[in-house]
């Protein structure tokens, strides 16, 4: 087989694998749009050395910005093995990117939590995650809101909640 055939079948396999993962994980990869990143960080008001958690960190872009531009201590949780691997590549071997369910995150340690989940999971996130946060902790949601909480601030579908 020629190299282009290997590449073609490799791409077909990766697309198939992502589709299969979406069936089992029930959550499609939802990357944060580049134009939303500024609003995300404007609302988060991250200070140096704060603990930043990204629950469903995808390719690790948000964590990389928090670490590199804000000197934050970052941790990510990702259940999709392909996205987890991309995060590890982006942030380096020594990064704290866990191939784990977001519900296992020790939220009492977080100063800022980023979540970009589908609406059906936002209600569950509110019930399970909000009580675990320490006072003053901030949650930033992208596109979808917490069903019963009132955002402290919002900007272009990015929402800030302060405990």
pLDDT reported for residue 22: 60
Q: Which domain holds residue 94?
A: 30-162
18 belongs to a structural domain: no
156 has a pLDDT exceeding 80: yes
Considering only 19-23, 87-91, 122-126, 143-147, which range has the smallest mean pLDDT?
A: 19-23
Q: How far apart are CA 63 and CA 47, in angstroms?
A: 14
Which of 72, 79, 156 shows the shortest CA–CA distance to 112?
72
CATH label of the domain that carries residue 55: 3.40.50.150
Residues forming beta bridges with residue 142, ordered by sequence position: 158
Write down the pLDDT at residue 91.
95
Which pLDDT tens digit goes with each residue over 133-147? 999 999 999 988 999
Q: Which tens digits make up the pLDDT trace of 70-114? A: 999 999 999 888 888 899 999 998 789 998 888 899 999 999 999
Tell me whether residue 128 is in a domain. Answer: yes
Task: Evaluate whether residue 22 is within a structural domain.
Answer: no
**How many structural domains comprise the chain?**
1
Q: Give the pLDDT score at 101.
A: 85
* pLDDT, greater one: 117 or 115: 115
* Mean pLDDT, residues 110-122 taken together: 90
b/e 115-137 (16+ beta carbons within 10 angstroms → b): bbbeeebbeebbeebbebbeeeb
Mean per-residue pLDDT for 27-50? 85
């Amino acid at each position: 087989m020629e190299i282009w055939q290997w590449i073609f079948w490799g791409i077909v396999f990766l697309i198939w694998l992502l589709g299969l993962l979406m069936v089992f994980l029930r959550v499609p990869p939802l990357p944060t749009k580049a134009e939303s990143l500024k609003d995300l960080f404007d609302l988060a008001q991250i200070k140096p050395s704060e603990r930043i958690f990204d629950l469903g960190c995808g390719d690790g872009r948000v964590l990389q910005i928090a670490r590199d531009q804000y000197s934050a201590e970052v941790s990510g949780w990702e259940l999709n093995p392909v996205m987890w691997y991309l995060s590890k590549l982006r942030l380096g071997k020594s990064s704290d990117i866990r191939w784990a369910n977001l519900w296992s995150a020790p939220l009492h340690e977080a100063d800022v939590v980023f979540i970009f989940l589908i609406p059906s999971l936002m209600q569950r996130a509110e019930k399970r995650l909000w009580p675990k946060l320490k006072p003053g902790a901030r949650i930033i949601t992208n596109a979808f809101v917490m069903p019963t909480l009132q955002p402290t601030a919002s900007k272009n579908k990015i929402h800030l909640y302060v405990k």
